C-alpha cells in the first residue's frame, strides 16, 4: 500500500507542475538557509582539521581571580597552568598556547600583517596539522627559545610566492625567524588552531609572561580514551584550592573550569563557569522551527487549495469505504515526498553556496563541506517540514462527508 501512495504522490506532483514548482521553491529556499546554518554549526562543533580529536578535548580560556574588593577576568597565566594544572588525572596531554596576535612584516615596500600564535611542542601532538613542508619545531627549539617558525600555505605565498620556504627567514616585528615547517591553512572558525604563523612559546617576550597567574594563555587538554570529563573538571577544581597568591590581601580565590567546545559556545554571562549547552541547543531547535513556520503555513494554504481540487477523488474513496486514517496517510505521504525533493534541492543549493564561500576575500581558508551529519539533518528537516505542512490539511479534508466531497464542496 505504501508503494501505491508513493506512485500516486509522484503522479500528482507531475500533474500539477506549477504547484510543484512553487512548493519546491519555497521548501528549497527554507532548506538551503537551514542547511547552511547546520553546516556552520557542524564545522564549529564537530572534529575537523586540525582539531580532529575535538571530542576528547577540553579547553581553558577564561579564569577569574578575586578578593574581597577586586576581581580579575582573563585567560589563565602561564605560571598558573604550568604549576597547578599539569598531570591532571584522565588527561593524556596538555598544551599551553596564546591567543592570536598581530605581527607586522615589510616586504618590497609592502606592509604585511599576519595572525601569530605562540605554542608549545605538545600543541603539535594534540592538533593534527597537515605539513606540506618540513615539520614542527622541537622541544629543544622551544626550551632554548630558538627563533624558528611554522607558517601556513597562505603566509608562504605572501612571503615567497610558490617556491619552497624551508630554511628561509621571515621578519616579524623586526625579529627574524627561520621557517622549519609549512602547514595546510586552517579555517578561521577553528578558534584554537587558526593562525598564519606559529612560534615557539618560549620566544614570547612580553614582560612577566611566564610569571603570571592570570593573563595571556589558553590551554588544551587531550583526555585519555574513555576518560570522564566531569572527573577531570573535578580534579581541576581541587587544584584551584592549592594556588598560592602573589598578593593574598588583594586576591585569594581563583575560579574557572575546562570546557568542551559546545560548552564554550554556550556560555552566558561573564563568569568562567556559566554555561548552558542544553539551553543553547533548545534555542537552536526552536529557532529552526520558527524559521520553518512561515513557509510551512504558506504551504498549508497551498495544500488546502490542492486538496479541495481533489474533493471528488476523496468522495469516491470514502464512498467505497476508505478510512480517514488511510486518506490522511496518503496526503501526508504526498507532502513528505514533496518536502524530501525540496530538501534535495536545498542540499544542492547549499552545497553550491558553501563552495562559493571560499572565494570571499574577507573570509580566507574557509573549506565547508557536506558530511553525513548534514545529509541526515537535511532528511530530518524535510520530513519535519512535510509533517508540519501536511498533517492538518490532510486531517481536515479526510473528515469531509462523502456526498459533499462528491459534489466538490468543502465542509
For residue 330, the model assigns a pLDDT of: 73
pTM of the model: 0.76
- Cβ atoms of residues 359 and 273 within 8 Å: no
For residue 378, the model assigns a pLDDT of: 67
**Bridging pattern class, strands 148-152 and 175-183:** parallel
For residue 46, the model assigns a pLDDT of: 82
On the 0-12 / 13-18 / 19+ scale of CB atoms within 10 A, 208 is: exposed
Give Cα 362 distance to the centre of its chain: 19
Alpha-carbon distance of 243 to 245, in angstroms, equals: 6
Q: Which three cell numbers mark 90?
A: 584522565
For residue 376, the model assigns a pLDDT of: 75
Q: Is the pLDDT of residue 200 over 80?
A: yes
Q: Which three cell numbers mark 338?
A: 514533496
Q: Is the pLDDT of residue 111 over 80?
A: yes
Name the more confident of 402 and 152: 152
Q: Is the pLDDT of residue 310 over 80?
A: no
Least confident span in 28-42, 190-204, 264-278, 307-321? 307-321
Name the more confident of 280 and 231: 231
Band (pLDDT 50/70/90 cuts) for residue 253 is very high
**Bridging pattern class, strands 169-172 and 110-119:** unpaired
Name the more confident of 144 and 6: 144
Q: What's the mean pLDDT in 205-226?
A: 94
Band (pLDDT 50/70/90 cuts) for residue 15 is low
Band (pLDDT 50/70/90 cuts) for residue 1 is low
Band (pLDDT 50/70/90 cuts) for residue 136 is very high
Query: What is the chain's length?
Result: 411
For residue 354, the model assigns a pLDDT of: 72
Band (pLDDT 50/70/90 cuts) for residue 259 is very high
Neighbours of 384 (CB within 10 A): 16
Q: What is the mean pLDDT of the chain?
A: 83
pLDDT > 90 fraction of the chain, expressed in percent and rounded: 47
For residue 20, the model assigns a pLDDT of: 72
Helix residue ranges, H only, 2-77: 2-15, 17-45
Q: Is the pLDDT of residue 5 over 60?
A: no
- Cβ atoms of residues 194 and 115 within 8 Å: yes
Residue owning grid cell 574557509? 366
Q: Is the pLDDT of residue 361 over 70?
A: no
Name the more confident of 84 and 276: 84
Alpha-carbon distance of 353 to 361, in angstroms, equals: 15
Name the more confident of 320 and 266: 266
Cis peptide before 136 (omega within 30 of 0): no
**Which strands form 63-66's sheet, in the order they lie side by side?**
71-74, 63-66, 253-255
Alpha-carbon distance of 304 to 3, in angstroms, equals: 24
Band (pLDDT 50/70/90 cuts) for residue 367 is low
Q: Is the pLDDT of residue 66 over 90?
A: yes
For residue 410, the model assigns a pLDDT of: 47
Q: Which three cell numbers mark 193?
A: 588552531
Q: Is the pLDDT of residue 403 over 60?
A: no
Band (pLDDT 50/70/90 cuts) for residue 337 is confident
The widest CA-to-CA distance across the chain, in whole angstroms, is: 92
Alpha-carbon distance of 56 to 170, in angstroms, equals: 35
- Cβ atoms of residues 58 and 258 within 8 Å: yes
Band (pLDDT 50/70/90 cuts) for residue 255 is very high
First to last CA, the chain: 28
Q: Which three cell numbers mark 195?
A: 593562525
Q: Is the pLDDT of residue 388 over 70?
A: no
Q: What's the mean pLDDT in 21-28?
A: 74
Helix%, strand%, coil% for the chain, nearest 5? 50, 20, 30
Band (pLDDT 50/70/90 cuts) for residue 334 is confident
49-75 in b/e form (b: 16+ CB < 10 A) is bbbebbebbbbbbbbbbeeeeeeebeb
Amino acid at each position: 500500500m505504501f508503494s501505491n501512495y508513493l506512485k500516486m504522490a509522484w503522479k500528482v506532483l507531475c500533474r500539477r507542475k506549477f504547484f510543484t514548482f512553487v512548493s519546491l521553491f519555497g521548501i528549497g529556499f527554507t532548506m538551503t538557509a537551514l542547511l547552511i546554518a547546520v553546516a556552520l554549526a557542524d564545522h564549529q562543533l564537530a572534529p575537523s582539521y586540525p582539531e580532529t580529536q575535538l571530542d576528547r578535548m577540553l579547553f581553558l580560556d577564561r579564569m577569574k581571580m578575586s578578593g574581597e574588593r577586586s576581581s580579575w577576568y582573563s585567560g589563565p597565566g602561564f605560571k598558573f597552568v604550568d604549576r597547578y594544572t599539569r598531570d591532571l588525572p584522565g588527561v593524556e596531554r596538555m598544551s599551553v598556547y596564546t591567543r592570536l596576535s598581530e605581527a607586522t612584516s615589510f616586504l618590497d615596500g609592502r606592509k604585511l600583517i599576519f595572525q601569530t600564535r605562540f605554542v608549545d611542542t605538545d600543541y603539535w601532538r594534540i592538533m593534527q596539522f597537515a605539513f606540506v613542508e618540513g615539520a614542527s619545531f622541537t622541544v629543544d627549539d622551544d626550551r632554548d627559545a630558538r627563533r624558528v617558525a611554522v607558517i601556513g600555505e597562505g603566509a608562504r605565498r605572501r612571503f615567497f610566492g610558490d617556491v619552497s620556504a624551508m630554511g628561509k627567514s621571515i621578519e616579524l616585528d623586526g625579529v627574524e625567524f627561520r621557517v622549519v615547517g609549512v602547514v595546510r591553512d586552517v579555517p578561521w572558525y577553528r578558534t584554537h588552531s587558526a593562525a598564519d604563523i606559529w612560534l615557539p612559546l618560549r620566544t614570547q617576550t612580553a614582560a612577566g609572561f611566564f610569571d603570571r597567574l592570570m593573563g595571556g594563555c589558553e590551554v588544551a587538554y587531550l583526555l585519555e580514551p574513555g576518560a570522564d570529563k566531569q572527573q577531570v573538571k573535578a580534579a581541576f577544581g581541587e587544584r584551584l584550592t592549592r594556588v598560592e597568591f602573589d598578593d593574598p590581601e588583594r586576591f585569594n580565590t581563583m575560579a574557572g573550569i575546562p570546557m568542551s567546545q559546545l560548552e564554550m559556545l554556550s556560555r552566558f554571562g561573564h563568569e568562567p563557569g556559566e554555561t548552558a549547552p542544553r539551553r543553547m541547543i533548545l534555542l537552536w531547535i526552536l529557532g529552526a522551527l520558527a524559521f520553518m513556520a512561515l513557509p510551512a503555513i504558506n504551504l498549508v494554504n497551498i495544500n488546502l487549495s490542492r486538496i479541495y481540487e481533489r474533493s471528488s477523488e476523496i468522495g469516491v474513496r470514502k464512498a467505497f469505504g476508505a478510512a480517514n486514517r488511510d486518506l490522511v496517510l496518503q496526503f501526508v505521504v504526498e507532502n513528505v515526498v514533496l518536502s524530501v525533493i525540496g530538501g534535495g534541492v536545498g542540499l544542492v543549493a547549499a552545497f553550491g553556496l558553501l563552495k562559493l564561500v571560499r572565494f570571499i576575500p574577507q573570509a580566507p581558508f574557509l573549506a565547508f563541506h557536506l558530511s553525513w551529519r548534514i545529509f541526515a539533518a537535511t532528511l530530518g528537516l524535510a520530513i519535519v517540514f512535510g509533517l508540519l505542512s501536511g498533517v492538518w490539511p490532510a486531517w481536515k479534508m479526510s473528515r469531509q462527508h462523502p456526498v459533499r466531497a462528491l459534489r466538490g464542496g468543502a465542509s
